[in-house]
Amino acid sequence: MYNHIINFIRETFHQPEGVVPLHAPCFIGNEKKYLNECIDSTFVSSVGKFVDRFEEMVAEYTGAKRAVVCVNGTNALHMAMLLVGVEHGDEVLTQPLTFIATANALSYIGAHAVFLDVDRDTMGLSPAKMRKWLQENAEIRCSECFNKTTGRKIKACVPMHTFGHAVHLEELAELCREYHIELVEDAAESMGSFYKGRHTGTFGKVGAVSFNGNKTITTGGGGMLLFMDEELGKQAKHLTTQAKVPHRWEFVHDCVGYNYRMPNINAALGCAQMEHLQEFVDNKRELAWKYATYFEGTDIQFFTEPRDCTSNYWLNVVLLKDKEARNRFLEETNDAGIMTRPVWQLMNRLPMFKDCECGDLSNAEWLEARIVNIPSSVRLS
């Protein structure tokens, strides 16, 4: 039934046989050179010139005042919520249509997730649905937001830019200011994505990026914290390096810290990848245009970037007419060696989060039944 799509994908990736991966890393620059330099220097752990350089390159590209590397995106999210003051027992508003790291990170603190619906045009947290839930369930007391039913403090809001497509950031940011809630952006998938000309991850108090092996650029494993507040960035650097007070030989630590430091050898890979980031994004946007053109006029909808968003199109998305069609598409494409994947199971359906409070999730449920990711790698000439 889907042979024409399978043939189109093989032609697009110039791969007539074998497995077409969902998203393979692309190494075309100085990766081996920088790795050799790192090894020759013997500074392969958490101290070295590539760590500082990688942070500077990401800060410059994103427009952040400060960028701080972490060992992975989940650790970056965990640290982000600690930095904005999320404590044990607090509530965090987030979306159910997300990778599990979003929910896991707040669970490490002992916070409670409240799952609110997404918008169909972004696949990310809906400002309208969030406003409705807050109007019905929240109250402000002494400049803090509380859940009227549970009595818990609603401390933070964590939208996720799904597959690189930005949520409606200005509306969410305004809503968070109105209700005295801290905005933390899960920008794990959106390195190279912009909202109204400004990079994702720089609208909230903290943004968290991932450089996992399947991301637009990779350090093998790794993450980054983005800040528009330099002092908060300095605090993050201190906490992620075991809260060690600088000294030539003494080991003095002034609070409980975290070993979330990215090794220099990973940062070396990141520096080489950053040199080609815009090239990769341009390449992926060209691929998205090819897909959009191909699927136009068919009964399969290709998901295009929302208004005000310039997306990295990390993973391309098609929407099938229903769950049955989605499952048939997944089976036929994977049987033919075309790697395709459904979206994640909604967080509120998982056993560890099944008792979390939820709003109306009709959009998330509609999308979960229809989303399929199709091959999205950078295509080399």
Q: What is the pLDDT of residues 109-124, one digit of tens each?
A: 999 999 999 999 999 9
The label of the residue with tokens 């809001």 reads 157
- Asked if 331 and 346 count as a contact pair (C-beta separation under 8 A), the reply is no
- Asked if 239 and 90 count as a contact pair (C-beta separation under 8 A), the reply is no
User: Is the pLDDT confidence value at 261 over 90?
Assistant: yes
* CA separation for the pair 2, 17 (Å, rounded): 16
Provide the token pair at 203: 């609208």
* CA separation for the pair 199, 194 (Å, rounded): 4
* CA separation for the pair 124, 122 (Å, rounded): 5
* CA separation for the pair 102, 189 (Å, rounded): 12
Domains and CATH numbers, the chain: 3-24+277-374 (3.90.1150.10), 31-274 (3.40.640.10)
- Asked if 285 and 313 count as a contact pair (C-beta separation under 8 A), the reply is yes
pLDDT at 339: 98
Orientation angle between helical segments 230-240 and 73-83, nearest 10 degrees: 120
User: Is the pLDDT confidence value at 162 over 80?
Assistant: yes
pLDDT at 7: 96
User: Is the pLDDT confidence value at 99 over 80?
Assistant: yes
Cβ-Cβ contacts under 8 Å for 231 (sequence gap 6 or more): none
Helices (H) and strands (E) in the chain, counts: 12, 17
pLDDT at 285: 98
pLDDT digit string, tens, across residues 335-357: 999 999 999 999 999 999 999 99
Cβ-Cβ contacts under 8 Å for 151 (sequence gap 6 or more): none
Quote the DSSP letter at residue 189.
T
pLDDT at 107: 97
- The pTM of the whole model exceeds 0.85: yes
* CA separation for the pair 226, 340 (Å, rounded): 31
* CA separation for the pair 55, 211 (Å, rounded): 13
Over residues 38-58, mean pLDDT: 94
The label of the residue with tokens 């918008």 reads 119
**Helices within the chain (DSSP H only):** 3-12, 31-41, 49-62, 73-83, 100-109, 127-137, 169-178, 230-240, 264-274, 277-295, 323-335, 362-368
pLDDT at 63: 98
State the amino acid at position 363 in one-letter form.
Answer: N
pLDDT band at 308 (very low <50, low <70, confident <90, very high): very high
Q: How many CB atoms lie within 10 A of CB 309?
A: 24
Q: Label residues 24-58 b or e (16+ Cβ within 10 Å = b).
A: bbbeeebbeebbebbeeeebbebebbbbebbbebb
- Asked if 89 and 99 count as a contact pair (C-beta separation under 8 A), the reply is no
Over residues 47-69, mean pLDDT: 97
Strands 309-310 vs 144-147: parallel, antiparallel or unpaired: unpaired
User: Is the pLDDT confidence value at 86 over 90?
Assistant: yes
User: Is the pLDDT confidence value at 46 over 90?
Assistant: no
- Asked if 233 and 217 count as a contact pair (C-beta separation under 8 A), the reply is no
User: Is the pLDDT confidence value at 380 over 90?
Assistant: no
- CA Rg, the chain, in Å? 21
pLDDT at 381: 75
